[in-house]
C-alpha cells in the first residue's frame, strides 16, 4: 500500500541518505587506498582482467534507473553483508599468512571491514524506516551452500583483489542508490519506488 | 567502360589501353590533355613514381579514329596509418561515444568499422549522422568492473589498419564544460566578483549524478591562476580580487565520484566594482595618483564625506569616515 510519508519520515530518510552518502564516499576512498596497498603487497597486477570471483556480489546491474527504492536497499544490504564475511575471511587469511604481526595492510583491512559493517547497519536503519522487514542474515535456502574448497595462497590473493575491486564499485553504486532514494517523489511525497509494488 | 584505379604514392603505374595490342597506335590523355609519347611503352602508359597531382581521368584513344578505347580514373593515395580513437562519456550514465580520425590523410576513400565488446558481449555502436566519424553506445549495465574493448578498423583500397582501446566504465567519464558562465561585479564591493554557471546540458541527471566544479581566475595582467574547488552549487563569489583589475574566469566540471575533469569553459571577463570618480568635478583639491598598472584616487583632506567602499591610500592603510558609519580599512596592493 502506498502511503504518503509523514514529514518526519521524509526528513529522517533524507538525513539517513545524506549520512549514508558520506559514509559510502569515505568507504570508497579507503577501499581504493587499500586496493593499491593490497596489489603492491601481494605482488599482483592491478590492471589484470579477472574472471568473476565466486561468492563476490557484483555491483554491475542492468536497468539501474528502473529499480525501486526497496530493491536498492535490499540489494545493497545483501552485498555489504557478503562483503563483511569476505573481508573477515581475508583478515583471517592475512593473519594465517603473517602470524599475529600487526601489519599496515591488516589494519587497513580491519578499518574497511568496520566501515562495511557500519554501512550494512545504516542500510538496515533505512529499511526499518520504510517499515520493511529486514531479511535474516542466513538465507533460508533449502540446501545451504557447501563449504568453499580451501584455496591456494595465489587463489586467495586473486580473490582478495576481486573482493576489493567489487567493493570499490559498490561504494560508488551505493552513493548513487542513496541519492535516488533521497529524491522526493513529485506526486505522493514518498521516495521513488518505496511504495509497495502492486 | 569506366574504371577506378587506386595506386600508392611513389608507385610505378602501367596502364593498358583496354584490349588493344601492345604495338597499336594510341593516344593517351590525362584530364583531356594529351600525354607526351615519352610516357608510352608501346600502347601502354607508364607513369613512374606517381604523386598526388597525377590523380585524374586517363583516356586512351585508338590511333587515327579517335575512338575511346579505355578510360580510368587514377586515384593516387596511401594506405591508412593507425587511426586515432577516443571514447568518452559526457552523458553518464546514459552511455558513451567514440570518435576517430586518421593522423594523416590518405587522399582516397576510407571505410571505418568499429566493434565494441563488453566481456563476451558484442555491443552495437550506432553511427552518428554528424559528425560522421563518431558513434554512440547506450550502457546496458552500470557499475561493471568488466572492461570495454573498442576496436576501430580503417580500410581503403590500398590497405588496412586498426587500433584498440580498452577501458572501464568509470575511466572515460568526462563531462562537457559548464555552460553560461557569467561573472558580475558586486555593487559597492571593490574586491568581489560573483560568478555563476550552469551544468552542461549534455549531463542528463545532475541530481542523481551531481557534478563538482573547479573555478580558476586571474587578473589579465598576471599569469598565475587562483583555484577554488566547489563540491556543490553553481555559483561562487570571489572575495580577493584586486580592485579595478579586469579578471579572466573559467570553470570546469567533474562527476562527484568518478572520471576526469572537463575542459575549461569559455572564459569570461569581469572587473570588480569601482566607485565613480565624482570628486574630479568638485572644487576640492583632488590628488589623483596613478601608477603604471592601477588607478585610484585619494580623497582630499577637506572631504568630509566619502562613499562606503571608496578606495583610498597608496600602499598605506587609511580610514574613511561617513556620517555615522565606520568604513573598514582597505589595503590596496600595488602591482
pLDDT over 50 (residue A55) = yes
Q: What is the pLDDT of residues B292-314, one digit of tens each?
A: 444 444 434 444 444 444 444 44
d(CA B3, CA A190): 70
Is A169 in Cβ contact with B144 (below 8 Å)? yes
Pairing of strands B40-41, B33-34: unpaired
Supply the pLDDT for residue A97. Answer: 77
**Which chain B residues are within 8 Å of A64, Cβ to Cβ?**
93, 142-143
Q: What is the pLDDT of residues B61-91, one digit of tens each?
A: 998 888 999 999 999 999 999 999 999 999 9
CATH number of B179-270: 2.60.40.10
- Given CB atoms, is B29 within the 8 Å cutoff of chain A? no
d(CA A55, CA A138): 14
**Minimal Cβ distance to A60: which of B144, B170, B257:** B144
Residue of B nearest to A162 (CA): B145
Q: What is the pLDDT of residues B172-203, one digit of tens each?
A: 999 999 999 999 999 999 999 999 999 999 99
How far does B212 lie from chain A, in Å, by closest CA?
A: 14
C-alpha distances out from residue B73 to B13, B56, B110, B118, B205, Å: 13, 6, 17, 43, 53
For chain B, give percent helix, strand, coil, nearest 5. Answer: 5, 45, 50
| C-alpha cell belonging to residue B41 | 611503352
Q: What is the mean pLDDT of residues B268-276?
A: 92
Residue with the three cell numbers 580503417: B154
Check if the beta carbon of residue B156 is closer than 8 Å to that of residue B111.
yes
Domain B84-167 grouped into CATH 2.60.40.10: yes
Phi, psi (5° rounding) for residue B60?
-125, 130
- Looking only at Cα atoms, what is the longest distance across chain B? 113
Q: Which alpha helices (DSSP H) does chain A contain, by range?
A: 7-42, 69-98, 104-129, 153-182
How far does A161 lie from chain B, in Å, by closest CA?
A: 12
C-alpha distances out from residue A75 to A123, A126, A178, B104, B169, Å: 10, 13, 12, 50, 21
Check if the beta carbon of residue B98 is closer than 8 Å to that of residue B125.
yes
Domain B3-77 grouped into CATH 3.30.930.10: no
The number of C-beta contacts closer than 8 angstroms across A and B is: 47
Domain boundaries, chain B: 3-77, 84-167, 179-270
Do domains B3-77 and B179-270 share one topology? The answer is yes
**Minimal Cβ distance to A61: which of B141, B147, B209:** B141
Residue of B nearest to A64 (CA): B142
Supply the pLDDT for residue A157. Answer: 86
Domains of chain A and CATH, by start:
12-47+76-131+153-184 (1.20.1250.10)
Residues 6 or more apart from B324 whose CB is under 8 A from it?
A: none
- Given CB atoms, is A180 within the 8 Å cutoff of chain B? yes
Q: How far apart are the first and last CA of chain B?
A: 78
Beta strands in B121-262 (DSSP E): 121-123, 126-127, 134-138, 141-142, 148-156, 159-167, 179-186, 189-198, 211-219, 226-230, 235-238, 247-255
Burial track B6-28 (b if 16+ CB lie within 10 A, e otherwise): bbbbeeebebbbbebeeeeebbb
Check if the beta carbon of residue B233 is closer than 8 Å to that of residue B251.
no
Chain centre to alpha carbon of residue B12? 41
d(CA B217, CA B242): 11
For chain A positions 57-76, those within 8 Å of chain B (CB to CB) are 58-62, 64-65
For chain B positions 196-255, those within 8 Å of chain A (CB to CB) are 207-210
pLDDT over 60 (residue B10) = yes
pLDDT tier for residue B284 given thresholds of 50, 70 and 90: very low
Look at the pTM and tell me if it is higher than 0.80. Answer: no
d(CA B240, CA B228): 12
How far does A100 lie from chain B, in Å, by closest CA?
A: 33
Amino acid at each position: 500500500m502506498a502511503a504518503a510519508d509523514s514529514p518526519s519520515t521524509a526528513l529522517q530518510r533524507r538525513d539517513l541518505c545524506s549520512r549514508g552518502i558520506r559514509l559510502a564516499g569515505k568507504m570508497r576512498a579507503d577501499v581504493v587506498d587499500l586496493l593499491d596497498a593490497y596489489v603492491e603487497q601481494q605482488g599482483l597486477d592491478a590492471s589484470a582482467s579477472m574472471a568473476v570471483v565466486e561468492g563476490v556480489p557484483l555491483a554491475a546491474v542492468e536497468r539501474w534507473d528502473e529499480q525501486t527504492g526497496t530493491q536498492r536497499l535490499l540489494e545493497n544490504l545483501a552485498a555489504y553483508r557478503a562483503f563483511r564475511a569476505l573481508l573477515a575471511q581475508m583478515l583471517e587469511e592475512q593473519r594465517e599468512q603473517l602470524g599475529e604481526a600487526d601489519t599496515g595492510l591488516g589494519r587497513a583491512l580491519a578499518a574497511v571491514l568496520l566501515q562495511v559493517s557500519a554501512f550494512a547497519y545504516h542500510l538496515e536503519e533505512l529499511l526499518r524506516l520504510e517499515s520493511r522487514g529486514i531479511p535474516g542474515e542466513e538465507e533460508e535456502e533449502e540446501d545451504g551452500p557447501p563449504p568453499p574448497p580451501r584455496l591456494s595462497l595465489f587463489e586467495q590473493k586473486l580473490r582478495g583483489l576481486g573482493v576489493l575491486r567489487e567493493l570499490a564499485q559498490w561504494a560508488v553504486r551505493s552513493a548513487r542508490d542513496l541519492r535516488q532514494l533521497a529524491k522526493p517523489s513529485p506526486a505522493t511525497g514518498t521516495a521513488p519506488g518505496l511504495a509497495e509494488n502492486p | 567502360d569506366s574504371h577506378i584505379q587506386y595506386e600508392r604514392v611513389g608507385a610505378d603505374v602501367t596502364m593498358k589501353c583496354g584490349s588493344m595490342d601492345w604495338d597499336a597506335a594510341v593516344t593517351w590523355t590525362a584530364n583531356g590533355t594529351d600525354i607526351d609519347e615519352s610516357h608510352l611503352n608501346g600502347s601502354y602508359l607508364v607513369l613512374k613514381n606517381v604523386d598526388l597531382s597525377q590523380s585524374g581521368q586517363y583516356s586512351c584513344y585508338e590511333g587515327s579514329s579517335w575512338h575511346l578505347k579505355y578510360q580510368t580514373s587514377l586515384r593516387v593515395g596511401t594506405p591508412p596509418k593507425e587511426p586515432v580513437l577516443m571514447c568518452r562519456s559526457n552523458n553518464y550514465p546514459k552511455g558513451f561515444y567514440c570518435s576517430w580520425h586518421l593522423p594523416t590523410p590518405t587522399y582516397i576513400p576510407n571505410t571505418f568499422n568499429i566493434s565494441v565488446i563488453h566481456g563476451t558481449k558484442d555491443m552495437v555502436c550506432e553511427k552518428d549522422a554528424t559528425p560522421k566519424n563518431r558513434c554512440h553506445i547506450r550502457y546496458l549495465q552500470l557499475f561493471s568492473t568488466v572492461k570495454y574493448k573498442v576496436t576501430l578498423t580503417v580500410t581503403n583500397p590500398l590497405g588496412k589498419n586498426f587500433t584498440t582501446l580498452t577501458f572501464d566504465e568509470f575511466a572515460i567519464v568526462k563531462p562537457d564544460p559548464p555552460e553560461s558562465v557569467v561573472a558580475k561585479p558586486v555593487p559597492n564591493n571593490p574586491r568581489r566578483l560573483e560568478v555563476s554557471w550552469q551544468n552542461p546540458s549534455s549531463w542528463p541527471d545532475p541530481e542523481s549524478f551531481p557534478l563538482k566544479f573547479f573555478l580558476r581566475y586571474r587578473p589579465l595582467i598576471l599569469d598565475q591562476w587562483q583555484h577554488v574547488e566547489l563540491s556543490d552549487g553553481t555559483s561562487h563569489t570571489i572575495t580577493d580580487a584586486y580592485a579595478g583589475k579586469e579578471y579572466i574566469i573559467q570553470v570546469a566540471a567533474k562527476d562527484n565520484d568518478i572520471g576526469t575533469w572537463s575542459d575549461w569553459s569559455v572564459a569570461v571577463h569581469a572587473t570588480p566594482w569601482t566607485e565613480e570618480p565624482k570628486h574630479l568635478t568638485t572644487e576640492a583639491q583632488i590628488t589623483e595618483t596613478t601608477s603604471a598598472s592601477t588607478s585610484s584616487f585619494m580623497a582630499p583632506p577637506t572631504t568630509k564625506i566619502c562613499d562606503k567602499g571608496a578606495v583610498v591610500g597608496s600602499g598605506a592603510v587609511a580610514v574613511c569616515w561617513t556620517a555615522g558609519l565606520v568604513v573598514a580599512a582597505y589595503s590596496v596592493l600595488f602591482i
